[in-house]
Amino acid sequence: MSFFNQSIEQLLVKQHDTRTAFLFDLILLTMDRYIDIISRLSERAEHIQAHLSSHRNNKNFEDLTRVNQDIVFLRPSIQENSDCFAEIKSFYKDARAQPDKSDIRQIHKINIAVKQTTRMIDLISENIQQLSDAYDRLINNDLNSIMRFLTVWSLLLAIPPIVSGFYGMNMHLPLAQNNLSWLFSLVVTAVLMLILVIYLRQHHSL
């Protein structure tokens, strides 16, 4: 409302021949305001896209969510503006009124602005949807990499307890009574872990 109050005060200073001219000027200022808002959203989307691959943090995700929410609220407003302008044009046809040349120019400008805002909001909405999909894929890839890392290390770290557990049992094992049995168990553990690493590499798990 502060924007409308300032716009009306600004237009009242100017001299308008008709109320229609005043109304068209107000509509043009409003459409320019929408274009500015969409342009800022586009800049925010480009900033998120530029840092998407290198900075996948909560801040970028929150920014992406806010931009998406702004688009959700902005799209119906732009559609309402387009519908209202279509009614204004249909009024001249139904009433068979003949607008003067200045009104025709203003109507043409408003028509261009309405089409521009509709096209811009469609483009940025599609861009944000693609960014959201790309962000989801990157997050899933990161999660898969983390889970694979944890799985591999859990397999590797499971070997030492198995070897030491066997040598802790009251049963006859090779070199169990030797003074260097602890060294033998370490060698066996290292060999088994190496075999597991080679196996995982050959099967593209590492």
Predicted local confidence at residue 2, as pLDDT: 80
Predicted local confidence at residue 158, as pLDDT: 86
First to last CA, the chain: 59
Predicted local confidence at residue 65, as pLDDT: 82
Predicted local confidence at residue 53, as pLDDT: 63
Q: In a 10 Å sphere around its CB, with 0-12 CB exposed, 13-18 middle and 19+ buried, how is residue 126 labelled?
A: exposed
Q: Amino acid identity, residue 83?
A: D
Sign of CA dihedral 34, 37, 38, 39: positive
Q: How far apart are CA 161 and CA 163, in angstroms?
A: 6
Predicted local confidence at residue 169, as pLDDT: 66
Q: Amino acid identity, residue 80?
A: E
Predicted local confidence at residue 7, as pLDDT: 79
What are the distances in angstroms from CA 123 to CA 86, 110, 204? 22, 20, 40
Global pTM value: 0.62
As a whole-number percent, the residues of the chain with pLDDT over 70 amount to: 83
* DSSP codes, 115-140: HHHHHHHHHHHHHHHHHHHHHHHHHH
Q: Which fold has domain 2-135?
A: Methane Monooxygenase Hydroxylase; Chain G, domain 1 (1.20.58)
Boundaries of every domain in the chain: 2-135, 149-202
Orientation angle between helical segments 101-167 and 181-202, nearest 10 degrees: 150
For the chain, list residues with pLDDT below 50: none
Predicted local confidence at residue 28, as pLDDT: 86
Predicted local confidence at residue 179, as pLDDT: 65
Predicted local confidence at residue 96, as pLDDT: 63
Residue-wise pLDDT for 35-52, tens only, equals 888 888 888 888 887 777
What are the distances in angstroms from CA 112 to CA 24, 25, 37, 55, 107? 13, 14, 17, 38, 9
